[in-house]
Each structure stands twice: as structure tokens, then as C-alpha cells.
Homo-oligomer: A and B are copies of this chain.
């Protein structure tokens, strides 16, 4: 969809125009997963609109409610924290029936069971296009983790499995080139991302963490954000990226690069990329949290290099990730 300004250009323009006021405390703000105010309060906001992020005719509103909260909680997790409060804004039209609203609220409740928060306010308006806009606050387990702290030589880790969400979306759209052994798993992963709050807590409490981001735009795109903010490069061993091979089934080996590209360029996984100078005991993390943690590469001085089966991949096609409009 053509827009006068892309998302990144617009954010950049706003960032330049709205420099901190003279004499004001310097905030960590525009450009990170969440802003930090009052020293240690995390705050983030995320909006979803009908026809762009979901189709109200097709999506189960329980899933929608859950996911809307989960993507915000994932931003909080990426700052090294846990959610505390939510402000909920709904732009409603006459197609959003009481039944749908009831299911939406049920989705919020399911999210609240998975990762507790208080719903403390919001706004409900009429809008021709249905949308949700959620603001979530959180508290860091230790210091807030920023994007800009990665240093040459740091290890890059990924939580869970990457690429599931993109595969699930393409499966629903009937666009997968290969059949999947467990298609429903991937669809569920698209609708039910799990904010990795437990993982980041365990790691923050035991290791030094230099940088963290959640994968919303795609692994390479989001790693690119870390690299840009930190002034560094990265090296990724694509064969090490955790991919749901068993659920994909036998076709994975027929076309491994095809599936690996979902991990590199697909978005909406909401897994964490964690950058640490330390060798993290991934097995202990998995035992404590139930979530796998996998080393996938290193931070370098500059440049972006992705190896796959001893060859460098051409990043031009892959790296763009999903641009949200």
C-alpha cells in the first residue's frame, strides 16, 4: 500500500522534529521497543487495524484480543521487563457485534492469565475501520535493555523457533510451496505468539545482556535495528537458527533454504533476539522456562553476513522483512 512516507522515514522525521525540550531529562524513547520514563517505567504502544493486520471477517476475536496484548507484552519483554498496566483504545463500527466484543474481551482475559496486567483505562470511539490501540506499561527485571548496547564479539541468541508465524500466515493464504506435516501448529503460532518474559527474566538474573529486540519485522530486519543503533554488524549462521523442522516434516530437507528464508525475513514471530557477551547455558534456560534458547551468530564490527551451508546468502531479497505499510 503506497503511503507518502514509509513507517521508518516518518518515525525518523518525527524523531528529528521532536528533540527533547531544553532542560528536560534525556529520555530513552523513539526507536526502541518501549520508552523508559521515570527512571524505570517501561511504556509501549501498538495498534492493529482491520484489513491490514487482520481481517475482522475471518479472525477469531479471541485470538485477536490475545495477540493484541501479546505483541505489546513482547515489546516489554524485549526491554528486559514484565507488563504491569494496559490502556485499551477501541475504534468500533457497526460490524463489531456484541458477540465479537465479548470474544475480544475473552482474548484479553486469556492474555492476562498468560502474563498478568491490570486494565486501567482507555477510550472507545466510533471509527469506520475497526482498530485497536493498546498502551502497555511494564517494569524491568534489572536495568532496561536497550537496542544500542551490542558490542563486537557479543553472542547472538534466539528464543523459541523462528519463522513459524510467517509459515502459518502463508499456509492460511494458500501460498506455501511445500506441504506441512502440522499446518495447524504454524497457524496457531501466527495467532498466539508467546511473549518471552520468563526467558528474559532468567537471563537477566544470571547473565549480562547488552541488547535485546523482539522479532516483529523479521529476524534480519530486527537484527539490523540492533546493528544500526549499536553501530556494529552481525554474522549469522543460518543453519543454526531454530526452525520447527519436525513440524514442517520431510519437505524441509527437499528445500531447506525456502524454509530458512521464513526465519530470516518473515515477521511477527515475537521471539527475542538476545545479545550477550557471555556464553549462556541454553540447556538450563530451557529447563527453567520451557523455552529453547539457541546461539545463532555473533556481533561484528560492521557488515551483515549470513552463512548457510558454507555459502554466504544474498541478503538483498531477504533482509527487507515486513514493512508494516
Contacts and interface: CB of A to CB of B under 8 A. Distances in A.
Interface of A: 1-5, 7, 10-11, 13-14, 17-18, 20-21, 24, 27, 29-30, 32, 34-35, 37-38, 41, 43-53, 84-85, 87-94, 96-98, 101, 105, 108-109, 112, 116, 118-129, 131, 133, 135, 137, 324-325
Contact of A126 (B24, B46, B120, B324): B324
A101 B10 contact: yes
Nearest to A28: B120
By Cβ-Cβ distance, the 7 closest A-B pairs, closest first, are: A126-B325, A29-B120, A129-B129, A49-B127, A133-B133, A18-B119, A35-B120
The listed residue with most B CB atoms (<10 A of its CB), out of A48, A97, A122, is A122
State the main secondary structure of chain A at its contact with B. mixed
A3 B35 contact: no
Nearest to A121: B35
Contact of A35 (B11, B85, B93): B85
A47 B133 contact: yes
B101 A5 contact: yes
Nearest to A33: B121
Query: How many copies are assembled?
Result: 2
Contacts of A125: 7, 47-49, 52-53, 131, 324-325
A200 to B, nearest CB: 19
A45 B121 contact: yes
A37 B128 contact: no
Nearest to A72: B123
B27 A120 contact: yes
A240 to B, nearest CB: 32
Contacts of A20: 118
A47 B123 contact: yes
A123 to B, nearest CB: 5
Nearest to A139: B38
